[in-house]
Amino acid sequence: MIRTNNANVIEDTLLDGRAPGPVQQLLVADHVRILPRYDVKSTDAFIAFPSVRYMRPAVRAFSDFLVPALQRLDGMTA
């Protein structure tokens, strides 16, 4: 078993044939799926901050950048 939070390690391990496993499609989009009818269930992503009313300008700028950037990724929906 391998445990890591590094996407490059996961990608290299899978593509080198050392292990099968789920991976983000954008990392391996050009490669063959070994279980084409198996899909990993989607998961939610959240951005949390204390209060919209007292949000610091830097936090507002970050959230204003982050949400559209994430929506442009393949597989991300609002």
> Which string of DSSP letters, residue by residue, matches 10-34?
HHHHHHTTS------HHHHTTS--S
Say whether both 73 and 49 belong to one domain: yes
What's the CA gap between 46 and 25, in Å, rounded?
20
What was the pLDDT predicted at 65? 93
Q: Whole-structure pTM over 0.75, yes or no?
A: no
- Mention every residue, 6+ apart, whose C-beta is less than 8 A from residue 18: none
Q: What is the pLDDT of residue 33?
A: 74
For 1-35, what is each residue's pLDDT tens digit? 778 888 888 888 888 888 877 777 777 778 777 77
Counted domains in the chain: 2
What does the mean pLDDT of the chain come to? 81
In terms of residue numbers, what domain contains 27?
1-35
Percent of the chain past pLDDT 90, that is, above it, reads 3
**Do 4 and 28 lie in a common domain?**
yes
